Amino acid sequence: MFPPLLLAGTRRIRLGDDTRVESFVSLSVAREGSIDIGSNCELRSFACLEADTGRIVLGDGCSVNPFCSLNGYGGLQIGSDVRIASHSVILSSTHRFDDIDTPIRSQGMEAKPTVIGDDVWIGAHSIVVGGVRIGSHSIIGAGAVVLGDIPAFAVAAGVPARVIRLRNVTAGEPVSGGSLPL
């Protein structure tokens, strides 16, 4: 039988006021890692947050739904009021693999800090790879694989994810070129 909550490294885990943690949630830190969860958040059943030597920060009012996996090895910063749907994976590191004479598992990890702005909705079964920035007020469609930065107010979908529209642009209005704000 599984414990209702798995905590590893509890001195470096902080839960904000009125944060709800359901059964079978795993919060794990090692060495100098930490997890800092804001107030009024929900960590739903079987969610897994692993910081190891990195840091995971969730703002206030976030929900991490069932079977999500958040990796903070390289640093994961998530703003306030972010919705992360079931079975999503958010990474902040990757394996090194350049030496073909050494097994990948023996080559270590490369930190790739990931930042997600405020008021973002990440759809079910999405994957956000390490090193990505997702701008505030954006939506990531279900099943998307986010390999690059997504601007603020964007709706992104697909594999790889691409911006399919902007939430703050009226239908039929041209979208100006150049970089979009994160």
* Separation of CA 168 from chain center: 23
- Would you list the domain boundaries of the chain? 5-95+106-166
Pairing of strands 69-71, 114-116: unpaired
Q: How far apart are CA 100 and CA 43, in angstroms?
A: 39
pLDDT in tens, the chain (182 residues): 444 555 555 678 999 999 999 999 999 998 789 999 999 999 999 999 999 889 999 999 999 999 999 999 999 999 999 999 999 999 999 999 999 999 999 999 999 999 999 999 999 999 999 999 999 999 999 999 999 999 999 999 999 999 999 998 765 555 444 444 45
According to DSSP, residue 9 is labeled S
Q: How far apart are CA 57 and CA 29, in angstroms?
A: 12
User: Which one of 87, 95, 125, 137 is the catalytic residue?
Assistant: 95
Q: Is 95 a catalytic residue?
A: yes
The DSSP element (H or E) to which 142 belongs, if any, is: none
Q: Which amino acid is at 84?
A: I
Cis peptide before 4 (omega within 30 of 0): no
> 43-57 burial, b if ≥16 CB within 10 A, otherwise e?
bbebbbbbbbbbbbb
- The whole-chain average pLDDT of the chain stands at 90
Count H helices, E strands: the chain?
Answer: 0, 23
The CATH homologous superfamily for domain 5-95+106-166 is Hexapeptide repeat proteins (2.160.10.10)
Show the tokens assigned to 152: 């603020």
- The string of pLDDT tens digits covering residues 92-113 is 999 999 999 999 999 999 999 9
